Amino acid sequence: MTEDADQYQTHRIAAEVRPAGSLEVLNPFNLHPIATVDTVDLEGVEQALAVADACYRQRDGWLPDFERMAILRRAAELMATRIEELALLIAREGGKPLVDARVEAERAVDGLRCCAELPRHSGGREVPMQATAAGAGRWAFSTHEPIGPVVAISAFNHPLNLIVHQVAPAIAAGCPVIIKPAEDTPLSCLRFIDLLREAGLPSAWAQALVTDSPATAEALATDPRVAFLSFIGSARVGWHLRSRLAAGARCALEHGGAAPVLVDRGVDLQQVVPLLAKGGLYHAGQVCVSVQRVYAHQDQALSLAQALAEAAAGMQVDDPNLAETAIGPLIRPAEVKRVDQWVREAVGQGATLLCGGEPLSRTCYAPTVLFDPPMTAKVSTQELFGPVICVYPYLEVDAAIEAANALPFAFQASVFTRELAYARHAASRLAASAVMINDHTAFRTDWMPFAGLRQSGLGTGGMPYTFEDMRIEKLVVWRAD
């Protein structure tokens, strides 16, 4: 292990559990080891589930709203004093450039503050009983309870903020939660669990672990004691886990997409290009709603693509810990090889390569712009998850919309135009859960709805929506003679 490596990291299970093995965490830029984290097997999973289940079953031990709110507020205050420390950790384990890692850490603080306020605005409602003779003499109202133990399985690309999105709403709702972070980026998660405990959360209410195999992770997610599964990751794994959930378990799945952008004729390229470059190349394109497919009117499609290429070529690819770095590494060398294969396939089938198109190292890929790749190429039909933007010319906007909607994914889309009629037409016809007007597809605030449609996911993310998913509305009907 290198000199700058963190100390050995144990699991965060609130019980005595013997580790099954260990996992070496690598810096994705230079592949140097930065920490060793222990893993757990089925025995460890059983212990974590038993703790969470006992918390939920012992109703007298449920934490009241005001206490959970206070814990989340204290956690936010603690996190706000450690932005730089957390940003460095995000950059080290996930490869996100430091300037963007700071933004992620600040968003995580804001997310905690948002969740701390959710119970304050979550009252029940009266159900009218006097509307029918059968209901006469009765009074009915609803209240809320936590749904039960939550299991959250997370992804690598936002190793702190995604964890906050899954864990903080569970705490706000009063659910015991077990989080399994991505194997590539477990350190931010473990640090966050420690921070929650420092803020006063009893250890049994939020546990974290890394499993020794996919089979063990599946056993965790599909155990009958799990009331809710929050999954962020690949569609293949997410849909499989959904099919294996215990009867009655609910879930939310967040997968990826191939985000489309429509660009009207006559837009100011100087305003559009920086937004598209950031939206497509941010975090080396490893974002589920990264700009991937740009449909531009043929009058300026090539000019737009060339301007994008110029912008991309000027973005520095380097160590994410350097202040001037705009684009860092892909999470694993295998991803560099995959992206390169897809780009070479597209060029071989007729796409014009305007910039990039080659690995810069085992871990970094040059930001790439392709003009008019075939609609059948992988870059046109599958989620790229790499620093590549494709530009396609169109003559009629409805043909571009048809192409944008042709894939089995639907997440966020965007439209650039100066015409209200064009914006309304496109927004009403794009297959997407959210359409940004004159902004890139990766825009998000953490309290807005965030939902993958079709193969892109199930349910609605965003702090208030996840909070509601993790609660049960219970009706009380009072007969008053």
Instruction: Give the separation between CA 459 and CA 421, rounded to whole angstroms.
Output: 31
Q: Quick one: average pLDDT of 107-126?
A: 95
Per residue in 318-344, pLDDT tens? Answer: 999 999 999 999 999 999 999 999 999
Longest dimension (CA), the chain: 81
The single-letter code of the amino acid at 346 is A
The CA distances from residue 157 to 91, 146, 185, 361, 411, in Å, are 10, 29, 8, 20, 17
pLDDT above 70 covers a percentage of the chain that reads 99
Whole-model pTM over 0.75: yes
Residues 272-298 pLDDT 10s: 999 999 999 999 999 999 999 999 999
Token pair, residue 276, equals 């598209």
- Span 47-93, pLDDT tens digits: 999 999 999 999 999 999 999 999 999 999 999 999 999 999 999 99
* Contact between 97 and 88 (Cβ < 8 Å): no
What secondary structure does DSSP assign to 168-230, as a single string?
HHHHHHT--EEEE--TT--HHHHHHHHHHHHTT--GGGEEE--BSSHHHHHHHHT-TT--EEE
Question: Do 21-255+456-478 and 259-445 have matching folds?
Answer: no
Note the pLDDT of residue 1.
37
* In the chain, where the domains are located: 21-255+456-478, 259-445
Q: Check whether 4 has a pLDDT greater than 70.
A: no
By annotation, the residues acting in catalysis are: 254, 288
The tens digit of pLDDT for each residue in 123-164 reads: 899 999 999 999 999 999 999 999 999 999 999 999 999 999
Q: What is the pLDDT of residues 233-260, one digit of tens each?
A: 999 999 999 999 999 999 999 999 999 9
Q: Provide Rg for the chain, Cα atoms.
A: 24
CATH topology for the 259-445 domain: Aldehyde Dehydrogenase; Chain A, domain 2 (3.40.309)
**Contact at 8 Å (CB) between 75 and 89?**
no
> Given this structure, which CATH class describes domain 21-255+456-478?
alpha beta
Q: For the chain, what is the mean pLDDT? A: 96
